[in-house]
Amino acid sequence: MKRTGIIGTGKYLPENVLTNAALEKMVDTSDEWIITRTGIKERRIAADNEATSDMAVKASKQALSNAGLKPSDIDVIIVATITPDMFFPSTACQVQYKLGAPNVAAFDVSVACSGYVYGLAIADQFIRGGLYKRALVIASEKLSSVTDWEDRSTCVLFGDGAGAAVLEQVDEGGILGVHLGSDGSKGDLLQLPAGGSRMPASIKTVENKLHTIKMEGNVLFKHAVKIMADAALAVTEPLGMKGDDIDLIIPHQANIRILNALAKKMGVDPEKKVYLNIEKYGNMSAASSAVALTEAVEEGRIKKGDRILMDAFGGGLTWGALVIEW
């Protein structure tokens, strides 16, 4: 059976850069503390009139151009996001309309930071099963719209951006293996409490800032390291692969300490085999993996025949890992 490969990638980062120095003036924090604890030096913030779908479209146009395709060549659009333009219609439908991709299937995936890996896995199944020929998978997040800018434990972490990939059947390489999982019992470690059916919007929820990200950082950190390491093993071991067999790891850019711990558990040199851009963009949820993959391609870190491990965890809790041969 032929496999599914990525034939084009793209990204979009907002122009506005929010540095640690600027954050020092907003909350009680310091550049040294942020860099030491997270590895983040700056992050991008979308404009007030720039929605998640707008960023998604810009990343998609670049991915389509790099693939040598038009929007009309796409059969399905999958958007991974936890910051949709609105509850409904889906952000994917907004992207479909703005791109001018007529009558294609379009839907959102809401699994937080694992969204891009989930989206790629879903597209793989569609293509391998023969239902669709080409898929456009996008991860786009405007986390600045759901960040409490007075909460120093979270506001230093997050940024905005989008990445996209075009997938189709390939003769060589492609996605070799996928592992996905979840644990809803730990959902309260990372959540946005209000705005849904359980806690509809009210004056009280707004006053209590329940429409912003809430996170139990210390507990989540411990789970994240184990989850990402376990997910990596779950996808590589059935393929008979070890750390040395992977040419580049593209992890979710959550926290530099988590990523260094992951590299240690896998027995690889983080400077040689782990792609990092967290210092420039912070945590963009699902978009982190998408942008990192695109930049790794742009920088020549990924070459034909390379085996790439993508590894992510997010609210839910959810996790996902996949191995792709470029």
d(CA 314, CA 49): 27
The series of mean pLDDT values per 10 residues for the chain, 326 residues long, is 94 98 96 95 98 98 98 98 97 98 96 98 97 98 98 96 98 97 97 97 98 93 91 96 93 92 87 95 98 98 97 96 98
Q: Determine which one of 20, 93, 252, 255 is catalytic.
A: 252
The answer to whether the peptide bond before residue 190 is cis (omega within 30 degrees of 0) is no
Give the separation between CA 85 and CA 283, rounded to whole angstroms: 19
According to the model, what pLDDT value does residue 88 have?
A: 97
Catalytic residue among 20, 66, 93, 113: 113
Question: Which tens digit of pLDDT belongs to each residue from 177-228?
Answer: 999 999 999 999 999 999 999 999 999 999 999 999 999 988 998 899 899 9
Q: Which amino acid is at 154?
A: T
What is the spatial distance between Cα 10 and Cα 301, in angstroms, rounded to a whole number?
15
Task: Give pLDDT, residue 18.
Answer: 98
pTM: 0.97
In this prediction, residue 173 carries a pLDDT of 94
CA–CA dist 253, 239 (Å, integer):
25
Say which of 20, 66, 255, 283 is annotated catalytic: 283
Q: Is 72 helix (H, G, I), strand (E, B) or coil?
A: helix
Please say if 93 is a catalytic residue.
no
Residue-wise pLDDT tens digits, 147-185: 999 999 999 999 999 999 999 999 999 999 999 999 999
- 252 given a catalytic annotation: yes
In this structure, CATH architecture of domain 3-172: 3-Layer(aba) Sandwich (3.40)
113 carries an active-site annotation: yes
Q: What angle, rounded to 10 degrees, do the helices at 217-236 and 256-266 form?
A: 30
Q: Which fold has domain 176-325?
A: Peroxisomal Thiolase; Chain A, domain 1 (3.40.47)
Contact 140, 159 (CB under 8 A): no
CATH 3.40.47.10 intervals, the chain: 3-172, 176-325
